[in-house]
Structure 1
């Protein structure tokens, strides 16, 4: 007889609980170490923009530390005087702002890293939740392609035919993927996909997804827009 674990102790529940260290670090340090989760996320997701975000929170932490160090203190280390109270108050307010802003941003990052679907609404089918989560990952992958195509290429965005660790939500690169893969992902016939491959070779690659619509049937345009990307060839 098999015994199922309560939902609270299931592996996914444990993973969700353990991943909350982002919020613990940010809140417990009143924002001083809010930059740490963003460095972690940048390493895990391979996005340089997250390093820049970490630098912003690090700068805020430096300002808070400077304000606290400049506040006059007595022999016991207690803040004294109007200037001391003012500097401390400004540092605390800045810390609270950092905590709120960082935690809001960390909610989305945590879902991306764990591959979690957004919290399901009552009665929402798991398959629908998974489809919405995949769409969100495709949106994030497209942003990566636009912001840093070299990293996107290293992570093999749009190449489900190659070994990789990055989940792009089900995209295909029209400039490099084999015709059979383009046909499968975009839901078009192989002959059309092969024509796309021939055209990209002739023109040296597509600049935007819409470039292939001279070949793709109108009925498939929405599907192609949803699943295709073009990385520089």
Structure 2
């Protein structure tokens, strides 16, 4: 059955941590790409950085390292199959400088390039008091229907149990059959004495099925019946 109300499935913390760990490893591999490819991966890494974070220094680094690679390859290529030793030395030094310098630069900007995007702040319209009350009443009605249709689901969602960690908004319902003493005492007209009477009755005679049953056996003033009917739920 599909849960009613704004229920959000619980987050798997282990999977979330593993994904973050893998993402961090990936960003370090990206920063080490020039070193792992003898400098030839530097343009690709800086192009990726430029796509995610456009700034002057990244553009300059992309141009400089690309130019060094092109120049080094052009020089050694112009001497044919057997270039002189000094050309080999220049080529090797150029690649070494490019790979080391670009790796250091990428490590320095890694956090900024791969920072998660800022969340868009969506302005929320302020609700009037009447709208807040009406919304809470609708949430309570939805939660009651859920409890009536599937009591086990209602227990898993924590309907009527504000003392439990939960993500389901039931509009402020209180389950008289399972809520602890402080929660019962938060209801209008329910004193510590009557709250203990409720708990004792449930423990000895079983759960209540309606507010009418509660009013018959528990010492609660009838003047509070209307208010209690608004906030009580009875989950077996």
TM range (shorter): 0.3 to 0.5
Larger gyration radius, structure 1 or structure 2 = 2
TM-score normalised by structure 1 residue count:
0.46
